[in-house]
Structure 1
């Protein structure tokens, strides 16, 4: 009897597992591979810059590495954070874009001590930051945000600025509880301890900019466009004789009527040069009342044609 009941329960579980799961296209379950790769590269570059900034400003040995980039609801993100932590809120006055830079509160207090010249190795007890301490943290985060803006480029609004400092993500509520955020998690190895930091960005505007930038062809990837730009750039064309080296004393002794012999043979064409680079040979001619030159030899056009795809 027990065996029959066990088999029946197993069949029920298999049937439940086999049922299709609804997929909400308005709320994708994960980032696409292309988006994940692009964001991971940008956040990885930011991590290196952030580590150098902390080493210079907070006088602490720092190694920061990106752990992962994920797509989560704001509630899911808040659930992964400590009850009390440092939340630096960033906002853009011209749009609804928001961002959070989060790191442990004891680490923030430790950075402040280091920035003020202290050398304590023990982590301070967590507490709310004073007005002066908040100003120091915001000043530090101004540079951090600049590094983030450099790494993400057009994905981050240029007007995004550092704002208030809070200690509980549930009260911060930069977006709705069920709104999606892109979360980058970092491991911070500071001196002899390892901490965790996060950056959260609203997913909708970020992914829209990411899709737009991915679909826009890069100018550098179009050889024909590069060639056209080169061909339309003005250059200075010079018709010249073969140069001759002389001593400074010969130049200083020059007087009216002196004759200088040149190394250029009388029957040899002149050099046509662009920026000291000889591109053709030419003879002196005329075009109406103006002097002109007649190109007598040039291998440049043929060599460029052979290089063209």
Structure 2
């Protein structure tokens, strides 16, 4: 990309060309030296690299999607949450940027040390409260503190949201965020010194016609132990490593709730087609003679799985599971029969 020269640089270049003293190498060297100078504010030292900020943004885009789904189901309304920006600033700048009163949730970031803050704009807070209390969730510009009942309702919503935060961070750390207290005055939420650097994730939130912001403030000292893991390369590799385990766990949890039909085959008897057609209610079919010591076949969905023995537990009939039945596929049986006939 071609750099744009300032007016002073253009004047110097024209005067040097007219005098014959200009050399392209000298100008390029001078320009390269100027590019080495970088402005740095020692009052606001950058703690997070661009790669780390980008990774945190991708993680919280997942958090935003999960929160959108959770709030939509909870409020039964159209909810939209997405990441607007991820910035690094001092804690004092964050406190000054939020309204008073507001909803400030102090979150314990176990196993990480320290706390984070989830700030919810009052317009969003009162829209949620109105919706849960049976209202239409209309936009209400209220600037008062929450009542005890309203505080209890908000606590339930925050706890619900924190579950999504844990899932979004699962590729980096097994985070177990817990709600501590809820404050309405930002001056009462001093979790770090004013000059401490924090990462601010701003989430634009829309519920029906109401719009507002949710801000997640995480101090640098809280995530410093895992700062090396906040890289795109580590994040993507963690996702690939976790895919098989996540899929295995998901499949196992679904299989645990599957209902199957089981039966016990106590014997077989051969009947002619005419006898089967003449069967009526109350007819008796004589089965082969069996004893208690004989093993029956235990079937799962009409497929033999175990040998079993009959018995009784209290007043109920029961069977005791024995050795598994070797299930030979029909293809192998057909193949063996063909070889024998050949």
TM-score range, shorter chain: 0.5 to 0.7
Gaps of 5+ in 2: 1-7, 9-35, 242-326
1:51–1:240 CA distance, 2 compared to 1 (3 A)? closer
Q: CA deviation at 1:155?
A: 5.0
Distance in 2 (alpha carbons) for counterparts of 1:45 and 1:108: 22
The answer to whether structure 1 residue 243 and structure 2 residue 332 are counterparts is: yes
Q: What is the 5 A alignment of 1:279-294?
A: none
Residue in structure 1 matched with residue 153 of structure 2 by the alignment: 136
1:265–1:115 CA distance, 2 compared to 1 (3 A)? same
Residue 64 (structure 1) aligned to one of 78, 81, 92: 81
Gaps of 5+ in 1: 1-6, 8-17, 223-237, 247-260, 268-309
Distance in 2 (alpha carbons) for counterparts of 1:57 and 1:221: 31
* SS of equivalent to 2:170: helix
How does the TM-score come out when normalised to structure 1? 0.61
Distance in 1 (alpha carbons) for counterparts of 2:137 and 2:54: 39
Distance in 2 (alpha carbons) for counterparts of 1:190 and 1:22: 40
User: Residue 205 of structure 2 contacts residue 211 of structure 2 at CA under 8 Å; is this kept in 1?
Assistant: yes
Distance in 2 (alpha carbons) for counterparts of 1:150 and 1:102: 20
Residue in structure 1 matched with residue 95 of structure 2 by the alignment: 78
The one-character-per-residue Cα deviations of 1:169-198 (angstroms, maximum 9, x if unpaired) are 232111111111110011112212321221
* SS of equivalent to 2:135: coil
* SS of equivalent to 2:138: coil
* SS of equivalent to 1:200: strand
RMSD: 3.6
1:244–1:140 CA distance, 2 compared to 1 (3 A)? same
Q: CA deviation at 1:39?
A: 0.6
Q: CA deviation at 1:216?
A: 6.3
Residue 190 (structure 1) aligned to one of 207, 217, 238: 207
Distance in 1 (alpha carbons) for counterparts of 2:151 and 2:330: 70
Q: CA deviation at 1:28?
A: 3.6
Q: What is the 5 A alignment of 1:1-309?
A: 21=39, 28-29=45-46, 31-92=48-109, 96-119=113-136, 121-123=138-140, 125-153=142-170, 158-212=175-229, 214=231, 218=237, 243-245=332-334, 262-264=337-339
More off after superposition, 185-194 vs 141-150: 185-194
Distance in 2 (alpha carbons) for counterparts of 1:263 and 1:149: 59
The one-character-per-residue Cα deviations of 1:56-86 (angstroms, maximum 9, x if unpaired) are 2123321111111111110111122123211
Count of matched residue pairs: 221
The one-character-per-residue Cα deviations of 1:181-221 (angstroms, maximum 9, x if unpaired) are 11001111221232122100112332431314658694887
User: Residue 130 of structure 2 contacts residue 136 of structure 2 at CA under 8 Å; is this kept in 1?
Assistant: yes
* SS of equivalent to 2:333: coil
User: Residue 67 of structure 2 contacts residue 81 of structure 2 at CA under 8 Å; is this kept in 1?
Assistant: yes
The one-character-per-residue Cα deviations of 1:12-51 (angstroms, maximum 9, x if unpaired) are xxxxxx9875565x96426312212211111111111112
